[in-house]
Structure 1
Amino acid sequence: MPSIVRHTLLFAFAALAASPALAETLPGELLGPGTLSTAANETSATFSADERSVYFMRGDYASADTTILVAERIGTGWGRIRVAPFSGVWRDSEPHISPDGKRLYFVSNRPPAPGAPPVTTTRAGQRFPGANLWYVDARDTGWGEPVHIAGAINAVASVFNPSQAASGNLYFSSVREDSNGVNQLYMAEPLGSGWFAPRRLDVGLGPKANRMDPAIDPQERFLLFAGNEGDSRGAADIYIVFRDAQGGWGKPIALPGEVNSVWLENAPTLGRKFGELYLTSMRPRMAEYPKRQPDRVGDIARRMAEPLNGSRNLWRFDISSVLREHGIED
């Protein structure tokens, strides 16, 4: 089975919202159907520097129980799927491998120090597993021991989706004192072996809009994120924002074509090749009515066991044309 199977899902609503030319130039490809993308929830694909390994999160439909997995490229497909050596005990998610391939960041609710309690957060009077940023460094024999990021970044219990630039600047989303009660995008500059206090990125509609899941270009020329800037087709779309002439951020642009749908899209990540975008989408296989044959119980069970059952799956897109339109060539 090929690692990426071309899957041209054209939705009626999306077709109305996007021009045919853009829809044809940005077709989506389901990543590893049946192996990487399954009936469970999968998000946050990130690749080793040699592109031989992919790390990603798999969990239940509510993403209440999540684990980081790794798969190896075998021929044109993916195999040897297993739990990452640092995962499988706590609620781990959102892996990200640094541009040089020497460090893997991830999110976890595990205790920040020996003897400490797990990280928790409170919403609507109920306690839930929290989220802090961790990392593991590459060793000759594999990944080292997980390290909790000390200091201001993890001063709160809702820190998500790390993404690092080649400069060492660390981007993430978080709910913090200045985030207006919703997720916002933040960046922390490196300081020795740690980072300065993070600062909120002022983009788009400002703190009144919910923004998640930053994916930074290694050279920091553009940033991708999930959210709704007032023109989202679904619960959340993938936006791109480019650096302006003053070094700030321009207006967020919802990515065209099939990248966004009337379903939820989130967790964008950048591949190792120019213009290679991975994301998570809940888009299902669209049914045609009336059905050719009435459903049997087994038919329903079979559809629910397939990737395109409304769960989150991993998708690949090529946004190189969008980047070139904004003067980015490699």
Structure 2
Amino acid sequence: MKLHTFAWATAFALGCIAPVRAADLLGPGVISTGLQETTAALSPDGKTLLFLRSDFAEKDDTILISRRQGDGWSTPEVAPFSGQWHDSEPAFAPDGKRVYFVSNRPAHAGDSAVTAEMGGQRFAGTNLWYVERQANGRWGEPVHVDGAHNDGAMLYNPTVAANGDIYFSAHRPDSGKFYQVYVIHPAGRGYSAPERVDLGDAEHNRMDPCVDPQGRFLLYAGNEGDSLGSADIYIAFRQADGRWGKPEHLGGDVNTPALENAPTLGPHFGELYVSSNRQDEVRFPKTRDDIASLQKRLNGPQNGSRNIWRMDIAEVLKAHGLRD
């Protein structure tokens, strides 16, 4: 696709640290459609896919599930634990036994749905939840993850490291005007208070973290001042002293002038999934449409809706000394 080739060539010419393989649309017409799809969560064996589908205003979010069928994916179904509340942003724990997600469902039976308020606007809030996969492959009942991380009810995109640390983005009292990335650590039977991850000053928006299970690097969506669009994908590497290095803007097909967000990792080294509303370029005069061709294109995956794209950043990781 010409847009992708141009983006790759431009990033390489500007000194991308390592090449990124071309992006592929995930499950065209099945997973990626003319609706909004984000946040791909792959099980460790790569056979189960959870993702988010919503309306364009993102007021009606539902978690869907699909299963690997040969080289493709089965027709998605509503996940057994979703479909009734504003559920979003699923994430497998590294061992595949739990899926974390956020929801506006009441924390306790009989409570009202969770709401949040920002800038005078009220909207569906979020608390942190998980479900466990049973021995028979079925999913258990959702469990509320109690703790101070739920304060303010604006917690998004949980991601879990092998040591049990949970990273997420949130707007909290120390976030400044924007969203920032936070981490909580297992403590007793619960979790520590949220700590803001030091990725630089709070003058930049940072959302949708995705942590390497081994904690070696952290991906997120934001704008550090060099974004090609309203949000791009960045990566920060863990330093020898335990701190995070300066965030680096990913090149190649990862970022375009469109919106990129919700990075997640697949089960293979360097396998990256990104949500993007990138579109093929329309050139005029175009081949004349009839009503059928027009409707097919406008209802298709690249109609300006967000879709899920797969790419490979293995060479970027290797350039920083990482191996599988």
Rate the CA distance shift 1:160–1:68 in 2: closer, same or farther, 3 A.
same
Instruction: Give the structure 1 partner of residue 314 of structure 2.
Output: 320
Q: Distance in 2 between matches of 1:131 and 1:11?
A: 38
Q: Distance in 2 between matches of 1:48 and 1:11?
A: 30
By how many angstroms is 1:297 displaced? 4.0
Task: Tell me if the contact between 1:68 and 1:84 (Cα under 8 Å) persists in the aligned partners.
Answer: yes
Matches within 5 A, 1:162-241: 162-204=158-200, 206-241=201-236
Aligned-partner SS, 1:69: strand
Instruction: Give the structure 1 partner of residue 131 of structure 2.
Output: 136
Q: Distance in 2 between matches of 1:92 and 1:102?
A: 19
Rate the CA distance shift 1:216–1:298 in 2: closer, same or farther, 3 A.
same
Aligned-partner SS, 1:110: coil
Instruction: Give the structure 2 partner of residue 78 of structure 1.
Output: 73
Can you list the C-alpha shifts for 1:190-238, whole angstroms capped at 9, x where unaligned?
Answer: 113321111001113x211110000000010100000000000001000
Select the structure with the greater relative contact order (CA < 8 A; seq sep ≥ 6): 2
Residue in structure 2 matching 1:251, options 246, 255, 264: 246
Aligned-partner SS, 1:179: coil
Q: Counterpart amino acid of 1:167?
A: N
Instruction: Give the structure 1 partner of residue 146 of structure 2.
Output: 150
Instruction: Give the structure 2 partner of residue 34 of structure 1.
Output: 29
RMSD of equivalent CA atoms: 1.8
Residue in structure 2 matching 1:305, options 299, 302, 309: 299
By how many angstroms is 1:168 displaced? 0.3
Instruction: Give the structure 1 partner of residue 267 of structure 2.
Output: 272
Rate the CA distance shift 1:317–1:8 in 2: closer, same or farther, 3 A.
farther
Can you list the C-alpha shifts for 1:253-274, whole angstroms capped at 9, x where unaligned?
Answer: 1111111000000000011100
Q: Distance in 1 between matches of 2:2 and 2:272?
A: 16
Task: Tell me if the contact between 1:19 and 1:257 (Cα under 8 Å) persists in the aligned partners.
Answer: no
Q: Distance in 1 between matches of 2:139 and 2:221?
A: 29
Aligned-partner SS, 1:27: strand
By how many angstroms is 1:25 displaced? 4.3
TM-score, scaled to structure 1: 0.93
Q: Distance in 1 between matches of 2:263 and 2:153?
A: 22
Rate the CA distance shift 1:318–1:16 in 2: closer, same or farther, 3 A.
closer
Task: Tell me if the contact between 1:43 and 1:280 (Cα under 8 Å) persists in the aligned partners.
Answer: yes
Q: Distance in 1 between matches of 2:232 and 2:164?
A: 27
Q: Counterpart amino acid of 1:168?
A: G
Q: Distance in 2 between matches of 1:211 and 1:25?
A: 22
Can you list the C-alpha shifts for 1:145-191, whole angstroms capped at 9, x where unaligned?
Answer: 11111111112210000000000000000000100132100000111
By how many angstroms is 1:9 displaced? 3.7
Instruction: Give the structure 1 partner of residue 105 of structure 2.
Output: 110
Rate the CA distance shift 1:258–1:187 in 2: closer, same or farther, 3 A.
same
Aligned-partner SS, 2:220: strand
Please, which runs of 5 or more residues in structure 1 have no aligned partner?
1-6
Q: Distance in 1 between matches of 2:118 and 2:170?
A: 14
- Matched positions, count: 322
Q: Distance in 2 between matches of 1:166 and 1:12?
A: 37
Aligned-partner SS, 1:208: coil
Q: Counterpart amino acid of 1:44?
A: T
Quick check: 110-119 or 167-176, which moved more?
A: 110-119
Task: Tell me if the contact between 2:8 and 2:251 (Cα under 8 Å) persists in the aligned partners.
Answer: no
Q: Distance in 1 between matches of 2:321 and 2:269?
A: 13
Q: Distance in 2 between matches of 1:297 and 1:119?
A: 43
By how many angstroms is 1:116 displaced? 1.0
By how many angstroms is 1:126 displaced? 2.7
Task: Tell me if the contact between 1:14 and 1:261 (Cα under 8 Å) persists in the aligned partners.
Answer: no
Residue in structure 2 matching 1:61, options 48, 52, 56: 56
Aligned-partner SS, 1:300: helix
Rate the CA distance shift 1:220–1:263 in 2: closer, same or farther, 3 A.
same
Aligned-partner SS, 1:207: coil
